[in-house]
Structure 1
Amino acid sequence: MYENVKYCDVPIEADRSFFFDHVHIEWDQQIKFHQHAEWELSYIITGSGHRMVGNVAQSFSCGEVVLLPPNVPHCWSFDAYDHDKDGKIENITIIFPEEVLGKLIEGFPEMKESVSQIRCYKEAVRFEGATLKALQKRMHGMLQESSLERLISLIRLFDIMASTKETCVVGGVIKQNNSTAKIQEIYRYVFNYYQHPISLDDIAQHVGMNRSAFCVFFKRAKGVSFVSFLNEFRVNSSCLMLRQTNMSIAEVCYAVGFNDIPYYNRTFKKLMGITPKKYREQYQLSISQEESVS
């Protein structure tokens, strides 16, 4: 049965103004769907999978940096196949309370414009392009810094995020009710079992509905059928595997829950415009071109 989002207390120490966390853990040890009253900046160094932010479920790759405003429910669900040589994923998380922004304006008028721009982020965003690279470099550098140096770097991060348009919305605050809780639980179920057969009866029973009522509910809530949603989810998952593993097309097909290779190829081409083989070739070509330029 579905469960409500968990509320978390962030352990900011008395002699610190924000929380800096660098984790290097097993792929399945991340915190489950939760929210808190503070802002969060998350950088995925190693690992890939699917994240849920509010009521938006998307795939993610290593390298992404996401800013979450206060009270936005979220979780990152990592795939078992993508990790470092020790079988672990790695990420950096910075969590800061709203009062930090207020104190910056109060103490440093020069920060007023940047803080105002940060506060304009009402939804969670993923950074792209040159902004992403700048944030990655700054956050990675914080691993070797003292607490004072990290504070200076945080202010620099604010300036980078405040002065860019290179963002993509990935979710936002939601009002918890019976309907949204069911959608969230459907997403969690798919996260956990998409690599296995999922029937309409299975998922309907999981959220306490009959098959017919479930189909009507999901189509009304998301605008697409559950089967279409599941196929797109599996195709997006396969894109990650095509980019980040050497598995064959057939192996990828079965690994993401498709049980028929021709059907997988047709579905992939319908959604992505090209075949899985062509998708991998184009990605590998783009990587080779980037490396030759650099």
Structure 2
Amino acid sequence: MKAQFEKVSTPIHSSFKAFVYEDVNFNAPWHFHPEFELTFIEKGEGIRYVANSVQKFDAGDFVLFGSNLPHCWKNTLNSGSRVKSLVFQWDENLLGADWIYKDEFYHIKNLLAKSVRGIKFSSQVGETYYNELVSILNKPAFDKLMSFVQLLNELALIDDYELLSSEYFSSSLNIKANARIDKVYEYIHAHYDKKIILNDVASLVSMGDEAFCRFFKKSLNKSLFTFVNEYRINIVCKQLIETNKQVGQIAYECGFESLPYFYKQFQKFMNCSPLQFRKNYLNQ
């Protein structure tokens, strides 16, 4: 599935686009668009990609994407239920040319500047604003716009968030590079539980091993196998939370062939042991 530039079609008589997305899965490929996007996941779980960030997500995920920031959600397991999200998209001229540089919108300007790396608000923030997000979707045009601007200003004053992608990540990947990265994403998504060989992945995008390694590192600021391990560890975390399987069984099912190596990688990415992670979750 090719990564693509997404054309966001804002209703001709509206300043921004606000809608509910609902389907069996999140079907959008790794994509980007000039418009900013604020998304709240009402139903669904899996892996969220934002530039070079790879994290587990579930219901309550509340994220702001900057202009041209590559992103997508991928379901990792079939949960048997549909996915649903509340989505708000707008361009830089939401309130007219250069509106963002007016004193009244100082805080929003700073928020949107930070969104170039992707902003994930805490679950508490998402819970606080969920009803307001739903309300905005159902308001008359003028009230909808004013309420949305007010929401942005309030979010700009919140410090309970994390920036997702590396500050060194460049979102200016060309279409060809995006297509290659998306092929790699799809391959890892389908084969994370098996042995992944560099030459097999490089061949997918018609590149030699060394050229592919340079390309991947330049694109995502990390090596292929660091990316693979991040992906696997996120799925391990999901299994630790949702099942009673033994740690070793989970590790092998997620593609780790050596338990010592698995424990080392888990500690590296999660700053705790798998058993401590499970215990911490159960104690919450």
Letter in 1 for 2:33: H
Q: SS of the residue aligned with 2:152?
A: helix
Question: Which residue matches 1:46?
Answer: 43
- 1:115-156 CA-partner distances (Å, limit 9, x unpaired): 433443351211236544433342244455455543343122
Of 209-218 and 188-197, more deviation after overlay is shown by 209-218
Question: Which residue matches 2:31?
Answer: 34
Give the aligned length: 277
Could you state the TM-score of these two structures normalised by the residue count of structure 2?
0.79
Q: SS of the residue aligned with 2:54?
A: strand
Question: Which residue matches 1:193?
Answer: 191
- 1:160-189 CA-partner distances (Å, limit 9, x unpaired): 122223332223652224666644543343
Question: Which residue matches 1:290?
Answer: none
Q: SS of the residue aligned with 2:77?
A: coil
Q: d(CA) in 2 for partners of 1:179 and 1:35?
A: 12
Q: SS of the residue aligned with 1:21?
A: strand
Q: Identify the match of residue 136 of structure 1 among 114, 117, 130.
A: 130
Q: Identify the match of residue 93 of structure 2 among 87, 99, 109.
A: 99
- 1:195-235 CA-partner distances (Å, limit 9, x unpaired): 33322222121122334554465457666543343223211
Letter in 2 for 1:161: L
Question: Which residue matches 2:19?
Answer: 21
Question: Which residue matches 1:246?
Answer: 243
Query: Is the contact between residue 104 and residue 111 of structure 1 (CA under 8 Å) also seen in structure 2?
Result: no
Of 155-164 and 192-201, more deviation after overlay is shown by 192-201
Query: Is the contact between residue 51 and residue 74 of structure 1 (CA under 8 Å) also seen in structure 2?
Result: yes
Q: Does 2:115 correspond to 1:117?
A: no
Structure 1 residues 60-99: aligned runs within 5 Å:
60-81=57-78, 83=79, 86-99=80-93
Letter in 2 for 1:190: I
After superposition, the CA RMSD in angstroms is: 3.3
Query: Is the contact between residue 44 and residue 90 of structure 1 (CA under 8 Å) also seen in structure 2?
Result: yes
Q: d(CA) in 2 for partners of 1:150 and 1:258?
A: 49
Query: Is the contact between residue 53 and residue 72 of structure 1 (CA under 8 Å) also seen in structure 2?
Result: yes
Letter in 1 for 2:203: Q
Question: Which residue matches 1:155?
Answer: 149
Query: Is the contact between residue 36 and residue 90 of structure 2 (CA under 8 Å) also seen in structure 1?
Result: yes
Letter in 1 for 2:4: K
Query: Is the contact between residue 55 and residue 183 of structure 1 (CA under 8 Å) also seen in structure 2?
Result: no
Question: Which residue matches 1:9?
Answer: 7
- 1:28-58 CA-partner distances (Å, limit 9, x unpaired): x421122222211011122222223234433
Of 110-119 and 227-236, more deviation after overlay is shown by 110-119
Unaligned runs of 5+ in 2: none
Change (3 A) 1:196 1:13: same
Query: Is the contact between residue 170 and residue 219 of structure 2 (CA under 8 Å) also seen in structure 1?
Result: no
Change (3 A) 1:281 1:115: closer
Q: SS of the residue aligned with 1:120?
A: helix
Change (3 A) 1:201 1:282: same
Could you state the TM-score of these two structures normalised by the residue count of structure 1?
0.77
Structure 1 residues 208-227: aligned runs within 5 Å:
208-215=206-213, 218=216, 225-227=223-225
Question: Which residue matches 1:233?
Answer: 231
Question: Which residue matches 1:292?
Answer: none
Question: Which residue matches 1:276?
Answer: 274
